[in-house]
Amino acid sequence: MTEVQLDLGRKKWLALGVLALGLSMVVLDGTIVSVSLPVIIADLSLNFTQAQWVTSIYAVVLAALLITAGRLGDRLGRRKMFALGVLVFLVGSVLAASATSAWPLLWGRIVQGVGAAAVMPGTLATMNALFRGRDRIIAFAVWGSVISGVAAIGPLLGGWLTTYYTWPWIFLVNLPLGAVVLVGLLLFVPETKMGKTAPGLDVDGFLLSAVGFALLVFALIEGSTYGWWRPLREFPLAGFTWSKTAIISPIPVILALAVLALVLFLRWEQHRNLIRRSALLDPGLFRIPSFRWGNVTAFAVALGEFGLLFVLPLFLVNVLGLSTLGAGYVLAAMAAGAFLAAGIAEGLVQRLGAVRIVQLGLGFEAVAVALTALFVTPHISAWWLALLLAVYGVGLGLASAQLTGVVLADVPPETSGQGSATQSTVRQIGSAFGIAVVGALLSVGLGHEMPKRLAEVKDLPAKSADTLSTATRESAGGTISGLRDHEGATAVVDALARGFTDATRTTLLAAAIFLMLGLAAATRIPYRAPEASAITDSEVAPSDE
């Protein structure tokens, strides 16, 4: 029996629940760390760069392995790959929870990313095999809503666990969730796989893509550490040391190598497809306007969301002085808005069409972030900030819930699995880039704004101002919280808070610009009338046999 003939009745909806729970678990870990980051920084003595890696390394590994894991699932069985991914993910969770310094925590996050890469593509591919017609539209909307809504609710859960327990529980909470998912897989989710696949394994493509993306994110995160053009410090690498007196920093060289690797990856994938060998990516898919521009839009949505989720918790805890739970409540406004939008999106789609809803959502997001940048001050009301984030969440829910269907609407049946994995990868790359790019902008902004603000403090020696500025940037704002309880430090704390706010405003404006670019890309997606917006079997029917 082919997968096209699968008809599981009510059981498929239970399967959807299991798949959604598994997806929720791996999406949650992309954002649950954000609001706990100030506590983790203080407890493990992390610097700014290490803090960025804690959040971004998960997305980098997930993006690098996602397509490969999806192809392995197509061949070996998606349920098997899903279950293996959950087990690896749980091992990574235990490693991260038991970390006592930066590197063990990073290794735990890397293992989590490997497990998540095996889980995520199986959810979409299995839904593609189980559902037809209108049911498939609902399933895809659930998938998109989980991606946006659960990502937004992560900070609230992280704040609650960190406040009432300890930060390791943001990882240990995965153990009971994973156990439920594994039982649900055995009881309700059928095994699916592709019957016909091209011969060979695209090992070279995997290596080129993994190296390219890893080098690109590394350069963006480490640029402020080693220097964007002129070297700021020595760079050790496999027995070789890049001198501080070199003509150029290693960062531009790494960026060039990243671009070269990604160009070679695209050329290699074209070659693999021409000779009809197994390939991770079919570059020809990007000749489809809806797929091309839809992926650009998805990239912008993920970049904006995860960039905000890196910067805002640091601002809320260190500048506004909120607890991690208080910061979680403010950020949960995004989740409230996203879930509200998901509830009304279907009716709007029937009137306006999915493409228009995506455009409307991007508009809400861009305006909300721009207004947040306009109104943010060291003393902004948490309620006012939550209201702005709720508006952003509405836009996020509208855009994300419909993007999956929009991206895949015109993908040929024989490449639907590859198209699904590609759009998931694009989202994860956007997540990693959001943390890297917005984090880099925050670091540069702190280095520029802190000295200016501290220069306004009377009788503060230049050497002390320089030390405070460096300490605040390295601690990602933790120095502000540490000084807040010291008598006589009010003027310094106020200057540091204003400097951090200025840098935060810069990152918010950048995020708004990225979202506007995403909106511009969304306007290039071919419009489909409401009655044609539904994903039909012929449009994205699985190629599985």
Q: Give pLDDT tens digits along the chain (545 positions).
A: 344 344 456 778 888 888 888 888 888 887 788 788 888 988 998 888 888 888 888 878 887 787 778 778 877 888 888 999 999 999 999 999 999 998 999 999 999 999 998 888 777 778 777 777 777 777 777 776 776 667 767 888 888 998 888 899 999 999 999 999 999 999 888 887 765 566 667 788 888 888 888 888 788 778 877 888 888 878 877 677 888 888 888 889 999 999 999 999 989 988 888 888 877 778 888 889 999 999 999 898 888 888 888 889 889 988 998 888 888 889 888 888 887 887 777 778 778 888 898 999 999 999 999 999 999 999 999 999 999 999 998 998 888 778 877 888 888 766 666 777 788 778 878 887 888 888 888 888 888 888 888 888 887 888 888 888 888 887 777 788 778 777 667 888 888 989 999 999 999 999 999 999 999 999 999 887 665 444 444 344 444 43
Q: Does domain 3-198+279-449+503-527 have CATH number 1.20.1250.20?
A: yes
pLDDT of residue 405: 79
The SS3 assignment for 242 reads strand
Q: With residue 214 as reference, give the H or E element that holds it.
A: helix 203-226
Q: Is 190 exposed, middle or buried (0-12, 13-18, 19+ CB in 10 A)?
A: middle
- Count the residues in the chain: 545
The SS3 assignment for 249 reads coil
Q: Is the backbone of residue 539 left (phi > 0), alpha (psi -120 to 50) or beta?
A: alpha
CA–CA distance, 539 with 128 (Å, rounded to integer):
11
Q: Is 538 exposed, middle or buried (0-12, 13-18, 19+ CB in 10 A)?
A: exposed
Q: What is the DSSP letter of 189?
A: P
In the structure encoding, which two tokens stand for residue 123, read together?
């959810």
Taking the domains of the chain in order of start, what are their residue ranges?
A: 3-198+279-449+503-527, 199-278
CA–CA distance, 374 with 351 (Å, rounded to integer):
33
CA nearest 218: which of 33, 435, 66, 45? 435
CA distances from 209 to 81, 265, 282 (A): 21, 6, 13
pLDDT of residue 536: 43
pTM: predicted TM-score of the whole model, two decimal places: 0.79
Q: Is the backbone of residue 24 left (phi > 0), alpha (psi -120 to 50) or beta?
A: alpha
